Structure formats: C-alpha cells, structure tokens
Amino acid sequence: MTVKKSKPAARTLRADALRNRERILAAAKAGFTKNGADASLDEIARRAKVGAGTLYRHFPTREALLEAVYQTEVEKLAAVQREFSKTMEPVEALRAWMLLFVDYIAAKQIIAPALYTLLGASPKVFQSTGGLVTRAIEALVAGAVASGEIRADINAMDLLRAVYGVSSVASAPDWPQRAKRLVDILIHGSRVR
Amino acid sequence: MTVKKSKPAARTLRADALRNRERILAAAKAGFTKNGADASLDEIARRAKVGAGTLYRHFPTREALLEAVYQTEVEKLAAVQREFSKTMEPVEALRAWMLLFVDYIAAKQIIAPALYTLLGASPKVFQSTGGLVTRAIEALVAGAVASGEIRADINAMDLLRAVYGVSSVASAPDWPQRAKRLVDILIHGSRVR
DNA sequence: TCTTATACGGAGACACTCTCCGTTTTATTC
DNA sequence: GAATAAAACGGAGAGTGTCTCCGTATAAGA
C-alpha cells in the first residue's frame, strides 16, 4: 500500500489549470448574463477557448458552474446580514436585508435562476454557497423571533422563496417596487398579532 | 382572385386529427406527470403512437401542449372563484381560494411548472388559459379591496406568485402546511393597517 | 367512386450534454 | 537544463432531444 497524505482536501491547482478556471468563469458569467441560466455550456467552453472536457472537469454540473459564478455575490449578501444584525433592530434588520435581496436580484437578473437552485431541493448545493443565504435569513428571522416581535412559526426560507417567486417570474418593469411592497406585506403579516 | 370565406377562425378538425389530438394529450399528461414539465416531446409522440410532426402540428410549442393539458384544471380554479365570490365574505373568499390554489398544486405537482409559465412573462400565454387564473385572483382581490378590508396597493398576481414560489420550489414534505401559513401571512399583511 | 383538402409520419438536419483517452504542459528532481 | 511523472488539456464522438420538410395516406364531400 502506498502512503497517502491525510486530507488532501483543497489541492493547489497547476498554473494553467488556474488560468483556465478563470477564463471559464468569465465566459460563464457573460454567457449566463446574455442567455440565462440555461446557456449552452459548450458555447461557454468555446468562448473561454477551452475544450468541453476542461470545462466539465472544473465544473462537473451546470449548478456547480452557476454556483461558482455567483459565489461572490452571495457572499456579499451574507456579509451584509452580519452587519445589519449588529447595527439594527431585529425586525428592521430582517426587512432591510430582504429589500436588499430584491435589489440584488434586480441588479443581477441572472442570479435569480441560480438562487432558485440554491433555495430549491438539491441538498448538495445547499451545503456550499447556498448555505450562506440560508444561514443569513435564518439568523435574521431567529433574531426577530427572539425579540418577540414576529411569530415563531414562520419558516425563514419561505419568506425568501416568496420574494423570489415575485422577483424572478416578474415581467412588468415595475417589479422591484412590487417585490418591495411584498416584503412589507410579509413582514407585517409575520408580526405577532 | 379566388373567393375566400371570411373568418375561417376555428375550423373543425378531421376525425383522425381529433383522435390523435386526444391521444397526444393523454400521453402528454402521463409524460409530464412522470418526468416533469421538460419531458421529451418526441417520447410523448411515440407513446401516443404518432409522428413527431403530428405532435408539433397540433401543439407548436411545449407551452402550448402544457397549456392544453392543464386547461381543465385551471378552469376548475376559475369556476371555484366565482362560487366563493358569491357565497363568502371578500377577504375570506380570497383566503379560501388561495388555500385551494395550494391544494391544487399539491395534488398536481406538475401543474406547478405550467402555472409558472402562465404567471410568467409570455403575453401570448397570458391571453388564453392563463387569463382565467389572472382574472380569478384579480376579481377576489378587487372585491376585498372594495370592501375596504385590504390595502389597495397590492398586486393580485404577486400574491399568487409568492405562494407559487414557496410551493413549487418546495423540497420538504411539509410544504403544503408552510404554503398555507404563508397564505395567512400574506392575507394578514395585506389588511388595512 | 372520384377528387381534393387535410392530416400523417418519420427521416434527417441541427443543437446540446457529457465522456473518454491520446496528447500536451507543468512541476520536480537530479 | 534535461528527464520524468503527474496533472491538465482538448475535441471527437456517442447519446439524446428539438423541430421541419415533404412524400404518402386518409377523411369528407360531390
């Protein structure tokens, strides 16, 4: 038997591999932005001047790629949650963060399908990037519940899914306003009677 | 120049065409139920013992087929709305119908992607079947607003989109309860302060 | 029965996903 | 600055799906 290093976990990529990874991410961002979350992966590989095999080796599934592309955006959302939780009243923090969530979707319409995946079923996806969003909204709701201002029986993710539902399917140009109004409705409806 | 009959509008289908249409619809319902809204159309044609061309002639797009398959379901929802509006208090009618909406999605999970389309952007789809759902929820909201019990600035479709957001993405087995709780939150949040 | 408008079917062009494996490039060792 | 092994690349190709085109079949009407 050969001796193995324990925990090879995050191996360092070779220089060319790293280069390609970046190029793929750039091409993917452009591709998703232009053609939505179901843009052709081969096309993205082509634009990145990389073989299809290379793309799939780096990102085995479409979700993995989508996730990598929007990881930074999602990380920002998570960071802001920590900020808000420290500096604001619980309910206001929740409201403010949800409004920000709308803005993020507005700014990057493409993030919507990605978040759809994150909010959705797949447990694997949930673990990594998705976990950040989950933890953010859950921390906010937990805080607001603890303060006694909102009902204890509300499911944090459901609030987000509701907002997402309005934002992503949205057709009319005034959807951000409508989404924000919905946030108000949700917050108000969530208050202890 | 040849003389044309004016308004050939809804031509009567030939007997075999009608037969095939029914078979396609049956196969499509089975297919969508089993494999979701992105089931293979060629596969459906095969199951219906019909050429691909025939399927596409009857239903030029996937949406058209989806719409035709769930038209009856949607019609039921519309009928119930009229019923509720006559026999119940405005706000209760709205609440009851939304709860029923959740049940419909629960019963026919496949309807979810279809409704997603109906609630979504495409104006064409909006006109036909989609219009029924739209009109139903809008009538209910209008009634409740007129009675002075809920805010005038809420968008009817948004309520539905919110519920849909929770219902469709739902992973956990308790999603119907959660969806219904959300209906309560939405109704309560929509009340005049 | 004959005619013709209507409808059918499935081969085939094109697109997309994903894998496999021979070739190339990088890092390391001497 | 070779030589060597490990790592990574690329793209052909198999599998699957979408949608169209047009020669063939069939229903409806005279």
Tell me the pLDDT tens digit for each residue of B36-92: 778 999 999 999 999 999 999 999 998 889 888 888 778 888 899 999 999 999 999
Give the list of residues 6+ apart from residue A75 with CB closer than 8 angstroms, or none. Answer: A132
CA distances from A129 to A34, A161, B23, B97, B164 (A): 23, 17, 45, 37, 24
Check residue B42 and give its pLDDT.
95
Residue B113 and residue B36 in contact, taking contact as beta carbons nearer than 8 Å: yes
Closest nucleotide (C1' vs CA) to A11 is D7
Within an 8 Å CB–CB cutoff, is residue B190 touching chain A?
yes
Distance A58 CA to D23 C1' (A): 48
Query: What is the mean predicted confidence (pLDDT) over B6-19?
Result: 72
**Best mutation target, A115, A134, A151, A155, to test chain B (most B CBs within 10 A):** A155
The C1' atom of D27 and the CA atom of B108 lie apart, in whole Å, by 37
pLDDT the model gives residue A152? 92
Architecture of the domain made up of A70-190: Orthogonal Bundle (1.10)
Mean pLDDT of B11-32: 90
Q: Residue B120: pLDDT band by 50, 70, 90 thresholds?
A: low
pLDDT at B6: 39
Residue B185 has its nearest CB partner, among A120, A121, A189, at A189
Q: How far is CA B22 from each of CA A91, A145, B17, B27, rounded to the nearest angstrom?
A: 54, 53, 9, 9
Q: Say how far apart CA B133 and CA A169 lie, in whole Å.
A: 15
Assess whether pLDDT exceeds 60 at residue B10: no
With tokens 């949930």, the residue in question is A126
**DSSP 8-state secondary structure symbol assigned to residue A133:** H
A13 CA to D1 C1' distance (Å): 25
In A, minimum Cα distance to B117 occurs at A169
Dihedral sign for Cα atoms in the order B89, B90, B91, B97: positive
**Strand D nucleotides with an atom less than 7 Å from a protein beta carbon:** 7-13, 16-22, 26-28
Residue ranges for chain A with pLDDT beneath 50: 1-9, 121-127
Q: What are the residue boundaries of the structural domains of chain A, listed by start?
A: 15-60, 70-190
pLDDT given for residue A123 in this prediction: 39
B44, closest nucleotide (Cα–C1'): D17
Q: List CB contacts of B42: < 8 A, sequence separation 6 or more.
A: B52
A11 compared with B152, residue with greater pLDDT = B152
User: Lowest mean pLDDT: which of A89-98, A161-170, B96-105, B107-116?
Assistant: B107-116
Residue B113 has pLDDT above 70, yes or no: no
Is B184 a residue whose pLDDT tops 60?
A: yes
Phi–psi pair at A150, nearest 5 degrees: -125, 160
Q: What is the mean pLDDT of chain B?
A: 82
For strand C, the positions having any atom within 7 A of a protein Cβ are 6-12, 15-21, 25-27
Q: What is the mean pLDDT of residues B27-32?
A: 90
A15-60 architecture in CATH? Orthogonal Bundle (1.10)
Domain B64-190 sits in CATH at 1.10.357.10
| B95 pLDDT higher than 70 | yes
- Quick one: pLDDT at residue B175? 77
Question: pLDDT value at position A121?
Answer: 46
| Residue B13, nucleotide of least CA–C1' distance | C6
A60 close contact with B: CB closer than 8 A: no
Q: What per-residue confidence (pLDDT) applies to B32?
A: 86
Query: Which among B169, B157, B160 is positioned nearest to B109, based on CA atoms?
Result: B169
In angstroms and rounded to an integer, the radius of gyration of the C-alpha atoms of chain A is: 19
Contacts of B134 in chain A (CB under 8 A): none
pLDDT at residue number A2: 37
- What is the spatial distance, in angstroms and rounded to an integer, between the CA atom of A43 and the C1' atom of C16? 10
As a whole number, mean pLDDT of residues B18-23 equals 95
pLDDT of residue A118: 58
